[in-house]
Every structure is written in structure tokens, then in C-alpha cells.
Copies of this chain bind each other. A is one copy, B any other.
Amino acid sequence: MIGAPSVAAVDWGTTRLRVWLLDAGGNVLGERRGDDGLITAREKGFAAVLEHHLAELGAPLALPVVMCGMAGSRQGWVEAPYVDTPAPITAILEGAVRVAGTARDIRIVPGLAQRTAGFPDVMRGEETQLAGAGLSTSGRHLVCMPGTHSKWVEVEDGVVASFGTWPTGELYSVLGAHSILRHSLGENPASVAADGPFFRDWCLSALNEGGDITSSLFAIRAAGLLHDLKAGDAAACLSGLLIGGEIASARRRYRHTSAPVVLIVSGSLGKLYAAALRIAGIRVTEIDADLAVRSGLFEAARQNGMIASKGATA
């Protein structure tokens, strides 16, 4: 049974924003997606952008809002502190920060920071996906969340032990637009097919090189000059090289674990990562990223007392 809206859930990233109206059971009553992410919101004002989307969804004026992502960064609306690793997943969402000076109850979920183990690292938004992914609270999981800045997370008995960032999506767009490879990929790089031979071959090559991608980037350009490689195929080469390189690199870092990879992703990017992980011979469990982040935001609203609990919270 679908009820009245209990909370609005917002995933506010650097370049895009998603808003859902949820009832007390977490059911979706309405949804909006916009490209007014952090960059746009810094110009137009966070409150104005949010209220516009809520009004379009017909949200009541008193409806509370829970959000995650870059809205909580230093360049965002209100800086939400980081929770440090090692961090129990159920504890991350508890400390949502209230946005002051708004009529609504608006709270932003903390990010995660790794200050000591391995490389320094941060995440904002993926911790909420992780909390909503429904991982069992016992055993080891290796979680991959692909994107502009792909995150790999080691979870042990419900605790985030460590994580890392591979800026694969950003490398793809920056190299395609601003490096010599722009001559190879062309103005509007074609979408890449997960089952094409160029994606597969360059993915395999990157896996064999152990995550070293710099030695073969220029070969995409040279293959255009010497072997007449077409723009669409060049895009597949670059995509295969970068995704294969990310997987090889992560496999090296997490070689001590034999856990299958939990892939939290949506859409066409998911097909590329699933194919690349198969090529690497890695077992994969797939979880939809949209479902996961919505579920995590709903859980955050409950843990922060923003909606009436329908049962025991974790």
C-alpha cells in the first residue's frame, strides 16, 4: 500500500542530482533527476535548486529532506564531517548534519575518510550506497562502485576496513577531451559496447599489464595513424584500457582477499564493468546503485529520527 510522503531523499553529486519522495515504508511516490549538481547549485543557491525540485514533485512544505553526496562537502551547502575508517556501516548514517536557517528539517549524511591506512582517501555519497546495498553483516566483501571516481571498499563483518579511489570516469572524459587522444576519439565519443572486440582486447591488455595504463595510452593515437583505427573503436580501446586497468590495480591491492566482488552500479556503465570483471575471471554479484542509494537514504532518515520507524532500526 502506497502512503503519503514521509521524507524526500536526495543524492546530490558534483554534476547531477536525484530526488525521491518516499512514504513511511520507503516506497517511491515520485522521482526527479536534474543536471543541477554541486557546480550549478553553487551558482543558483542550494535552497533554490532543492525547493524547485520539491515543488515540481508536489512535496508538502514541512516534508523533511535527507541527502548525501557533494552537498555535504567543503564546497557544498553545509560541510558534513567525515566518519573515519575503520567504520561500522550502520554507524556512518547516524551523524547526519542539520542545515541551519531552513524551515524544513534538512540533514546531510557524513562522508567517509581514510586518514591512516594506505593512501589518504575520501568519499561522499558512496557510503550511503554501501549502507543501502543490503550486505550481510558477517564475512568479507569487496565492493566496487564505478563512476567518475570509482570506489573499491573492503568490508569485514559490517565494518568498512579500507577503501580506494580510481578516477576512471574522469580520466576517460579528460583524456578524450583534452589530450592528444581527442584527435582519435573525435568530438562526441561514441558509446562503447561491452561485447565489442576492441573493448575486450584492450581490457585484457590492461589486465596483463597489472594496471599500468600509461605505457599504452599513446598506442591508441598511433593505431589511428598507422592502422586507421576508427573513432568509435578508439573510444572502446580507451574504455577497455581504463576499466581493465582499474580492475587490475584493485585486484593487486586487494590480493589478500578471495571475496567475490559486489558491483554496485546502474545503466550502461554496469554492463562495461560486469564484462570487464568477467574477462578478469572475477565472480560478481550485481546490485542496482539507484536502489542502493535510495535505500541508504531512507535508512539514514530513520536512524536520525526524521520519520516514524515501522520496525526496529539496525
Q: Give the interface of A toward B (CB within 8 A).
A: 74, 82, 113-115, 119-122, 149, 164-168, 170-171, 174-175, 177-180, 209-219, 222-223, 225-227, 242, 245-246, 248-250, 252-253
A126 to chain B, nearest CB (A): 13
A8 to chain B, nearest CB (A): 28
Query: Are B179 and A226 closer than 8 Å at their CB atoms?
Result: no
| Chain B residues with CB below 8 A from A215, complex form | 119, 164, 166, 211, 249-250, 253
19 A–B pairs (Cβ distance < 8 Å), ordered by A: A74-B225, A114-B222, A119-B215, A119-B216, A119-B218, A120-B225, A120-B227, A121-B218, A122-B225, A164-B215, A165-B218, A166-B215, A167-B180, A167-B214, A170-B179, A211-B215, A212-B212, A212-B252, A215-B250
Which chain B residue has the least Cβ–Cβ distance from A180?
B170
Query: Are A214 and B245 closer than 8 Å at their CB atoms?
Result: yes
A141 to chain B, nearest CB (A): 19
| Chain B residues with CB below 8 A from A119, complex form | 215-216, 218-219, 222
Query: Are B213 and A210 closer than 8 Å at their CB atoms?
Result: no
Query: Are B226 and A113 closer than 8 Å at their CB atoms?
Result: yes
| Complex-state Cα separation, A274 to B157, whole angstroms | 47
Which chain B residue has the least Cβ–Cβ distance from A183?
B75
Query: Are A174 and B179 closer than 8 Å at their CB atoms?
Result: yes
| Chain B residues with CB below 8 A from A114, complex form | 222
| Chain B residues with CB below 8 A from A242, complex form | 214
Query: Are A178 and B178 closer than 8 Å at their CB atoms?
Result: yes
| Complex-state Cα separation, A168 to B215, whole angstroms | 10
A181 to chain B, nearest CB (A): 9
A168-B214, A177-B178 provided; 15 other pairs, C-beta below 8 A? A82-B226, A115-B227, A119-B216, A120-B227, A121-B219, A166-B218, A167-B180, A170-B179, A210-B210, A211-B214, A212-B212, A212-B213, A212-B249, A212-B252, A215-B250
Query: Are A174 and B178 closer than 8 Å at their CB atoms?
Result: yes
A182 to chain B, nearest CB (A): 10
5 smallest CB-CB distances across A and B, nearest first, come from A211-B212, A119-B219, A165-B218, A120-B222, A215-B249
| Complex-state Cα separation, A242 to B223, whole angstroms | 23
A308 to chain B, nearest CB (A): 36
Query: Are A179 and B165 closer than 8 Å at their CB atoms?
Result: no
| Complex-state Cα separation, A249 to B122, whole angstroms | 27
Query: Are B214 and A249 closer than 8 Å at their CB atoms?
Result: yes
Which chain B residue has the least Cβ–Cβ distance from A248?
B212
With A120-B227, A174-B175 as known contacts, state yes or no: A165 contacts B222, CB within 8 Å.
yes
| Complex-state Cα separation, A242 to B213, whole angstroms | 11
| Chain B residues with CB below 8 A from A164, complex form | 215
| Chain B residues with CB below 8 A from A210, complex form | 210-212
| Chain B residues with CB below 8 A from A227, complex form | 115, 120
A98 to chain B, nearest CB (A): 22
Which chain B residue has the least Cβ–Cβ distance from A73?
B225
| Chain B residues with CB below 8 A from A113, complex form | 222, 226
